[in-house]
Structure formats: structure tokens, C-alpha cells
Amino acid sequence: MKKLITLLSLAMVLFSNALFVNKAFADSLLRANNVAVVVNTANTNSVAIGQYYIKARGIPSSNLIQVNIPGNPKKLTVEQFNQLKQSIDEKLKPEMQVILLVWTAPYAVECNAITSALTLGFDAQQCKKTCDPGKMSPYFDSVTTQPIDAGLKLSMLMPTESVDEAKALIDRGVLSGFVMNEASAYYLKTSDKQRSSRARFFPKSMHIPERKLQIQTLQLDAIENMKDIMVYETGLAHVPKLDTLTFMPGALADHLTSVGGDLLGTNQMSSLKWLQAGATASFGTVSEPCNYWQKFPNPSVLLGHYLSGETAVEAYWKSVAWPAQGLFIGEPLASPYCSTCRILQYVQ
């Protein structure tokens, strides 16, 4: 009995210390009240999914922002975008550090992605020649604990082509915060040399026991029948065998190709395919970027920030050096490696 009391006492001390440490960091974490949910009232799917997300994440109803975009155009003019941005900005509260656009289209502003234009402002210079180098993001590989520290509000788009698929995506994001699963990160250097320009940044194959993560860096065009995917990064215009894969809650996946961010395009694989296959967040460019690695997620930077406990929206944004043409999509608050988040779920 004495031994049991000692063990219980030790457990209580450890838990109390964890609470103290975690509460000290609590103010630096992105939470539900930091997210502005923007829905398009001209799109019934957008409204339904926005409401589901608010309920699933416990986001205050006052964080809902309604806009009207008739026709769901794929691309906006600068003038149209400025009107949209103004209607969003005037409803943002100081604590809102993430802007979630709940629709599939529009996803571009001229040559810019709508998420980058909303967060960093429209980059007209990039559109003069889309294959030119881009502007450096002040948030790239940043050590800032909150987007506001860099003077930014991060944007992400949640596609709405299917209400059921969007709800499943949201559920995966929420579920990612409850338990850390055994998982693998797959990095593929493919036979497509042009689309393998970021392979130099692939981490070495290794096991990270404290994160229950196996890193596998391979020379392959595709993986198949894998059931434990937390990260999948590759370079191909079309990634095969996605229907054989199982993604873990909170999984990140993207492919380096010219127009993966053209979500409704058909020339190359849309980044939507990753979410439909079970990933929780992804990335793609909306106009021809050429194969600068700086215009795509840097694999090591993305993994490092995600494993540190940051959310999907933070890790993805911090991984792209020149993001003007890049579209960030998925569930922004997914955070499978945030142990602090898991504790706070039970003490708040």
C-alpha cells in the first residue's frame, strides 16, 4: 500500500509539473478562438461545412464571417479580391490569427494563390513572370510562437466539393490531437528529376522513438499498400496508387508539380486528391512556378515544425520560402505531436 501511495504521489507531481509547464506555454498555442471561419453564402456546401467545423472545433459562433461570391469562380481579379479582403478584414477580431476559407473556388488571384494573397498581400511582381524567383516570406522557418508575432494572419482553404468528405477531413483533424500513433513519413525521390528538386532536403531514413515516427526516404515513383502514413512528399505530375494507402489523422501530403493548386484543373493531379485519399492538409501551386524548391514545402522544415507540436497551418506556412503562388489546403488546427494540446483538452 505504501508503495502504491508513493507511485500515486509521484504521478501527481509529474502531472502537476506537466500542467505548470503546459499552462506556461498555453498562451502560445493556436486555439479555436484564434480561427476565423469564412463561408460563402452563395454556396450551400460552404455554409454547412463551416457550421460543422465551428461545432467540431468549439469555435465561437462570433468567429463566423459570411461573404457572398456568386458563381464560385476559380480565379479572382485583383479588384474582386480587394473587395473580398476588405469584407473579411473589417470583421476580423484581434485574437483571430488564422483565416479558414471554406470553399473550393476561388483559389487564385491572378497568378497568386488566394491564401498567400490574403496573408501576405497580392504580389503583382510575381505575375509579370511566374517563373521568376519569389519574395521571401517573413514566416519561413520562423521561431515565432504565434503568427501575430510575425505580423501575420495565416490563411488556409478547406475544400467543399463534398460535404461528407469535408466532414471526414474535419474529423481527422480533431482526432489527430487525442493520441500519438505509430506512423511513418515517406519521402520519394522519383524518376522525374525536374520534380525532385527538393530531394536534397529529404531527411535521412531513421526512427524517432519519442515521436513514434519512422522516416523512410526512398528512390521510388510511388508507395502502395502503406497503412501508417503521417507524411508523404514526392515529385510527380500524377501520383499513382493513392487508393491503396491509409493516412493517419493529421497526415500531411503534397507533390511538387506545376499546378497542383489548380484544384479543379485536369492537366495535372490536383492537391485535392491528397485530401480525398485521407490526408489532413496539403499544398500546391496555382500557376507555373518552375521547380524552385523555395516555392514548395521544404521537407525538413515542415517535418521539424510539425514534430515540435505546431499545427498543420503553422508548419506548412513555415515550410515555404516563396509562397506567393502556393495554396495551403486542409484542416488548420491538426496537431498530432502537440502533447500540451492533449493535456489542455482535459484541464480546460
Helical residues (DSSP H) of 155-269, grouped into ranges = 163-175
Query: What is the mean predicted confidence (pLDDT) over 206-210?
Result: 97
- The answer to the question of residue 242 being in a domain is yes
Query: What is the mean predicted confidence (pLDDT) over 198-205?
Result: 98
- The answer to the question of residue 150 being in a domain is no
What is the structure's pLDDT at 145?
84
In whole numbers, what is the pLDDT of the chain averaged over residues? Answer: 92
Which amino acid is present at 297?
P
**Per-residue pLDDT reduced to its tens digit, 224-279:** 999 999 999 999 999 999 999 999 999 999 999 999 999 999 999 999 999 999 99
The β-bridge relationship of strands 108-109 and 183-188 is: unpaired
pLDDT at 90 over 70: yes
pLDDT at 346 over 50: no
pLDDT at 220 over 50: yes
What is the structure's pLDDT at 17?
41
Residue among 277, 271, 269 nearest 229 (CA): 277
Q: Percent of the chain beyond pLDDT 90?
A: 88
pLDDT at 348 over 50: no
Half-sphere exposure of 282 (CA within 13 A, CB side): 30
Helical residues (DSSP H) of the chain, grouped into ranges = 2-26, 44-57, 78-89, 114-120, 124-128, 163-175, 272-277, 299-307, 312-318, 339-347
- The answer to the question of residue 235 being in a domain is yes
- The answer to the question of residue 38 being in a domain is no
Domain count of the fold of the chain: 1
The β-bridge relationship of strands 326-330 and 281-285 is: antiparallel
Question: What is the band of 1 on the pLDDT scale with cuts at 50, 70, 90?
Answer: very low
DSSP element (H, E) containing 77 = none
pLDDT at 137 over 60: yes
pLDDT at 309 over 50: yes
Residue 171 burial by Cβ neighbours in a 10 Å radius (0-12, 13-18, 19+): middle
Query: What is the mean predicted confidence (pLDDT) over 207-221?
Result: 98
Cα dihedral: 108, 112, 113, 119 (round 10): -120
- The answer to the question of residue 125 being in a domain is no
Considering only CA atoms, give the Rg of the chain.
20
Query: What is the mean predicted confidence (pLDDT) over 83-110?
Result: 98
Domain that residue 274 falls in: 178-328+337-347
- The answer to the question of residue 208 being in a domain is yes
pLDDT at 336 over 70: yes
- The answer to the question of residue 284 being in a domain is yes
Q: Percent of the chain beyond pLDDT 70?
A: 90
Query: What is the mean predicted confidence (pLDDT) over 79-90?
Result: 98
**Per-residue pLDDT reduced to its tens digit, 275-291:** 999 999 999 999 999 99
- pTM of the predicted model over 0.85: yes
Q: Cell for 157?
A: 482553404
What is the structure's pLDDT at 15?
37
- The answer to the question of residue 102 being in a domain is no
Q: Cell for 315?
A: 508548419
Least confident of 10-24, 47-61, 134-148: 10-24
**Per-residue pLDDT reduced to its tens digit, 161-193:** 999 999 999 999 999 999 999 999 999 999 999
The β-bridge relationship of strands 112-113 and 108-109 is: antiparallel
Query: What is the mean predicted confidence (pLDDT) over 105-121?
Result: 98
Q: Cell for 278?
A: 485521407
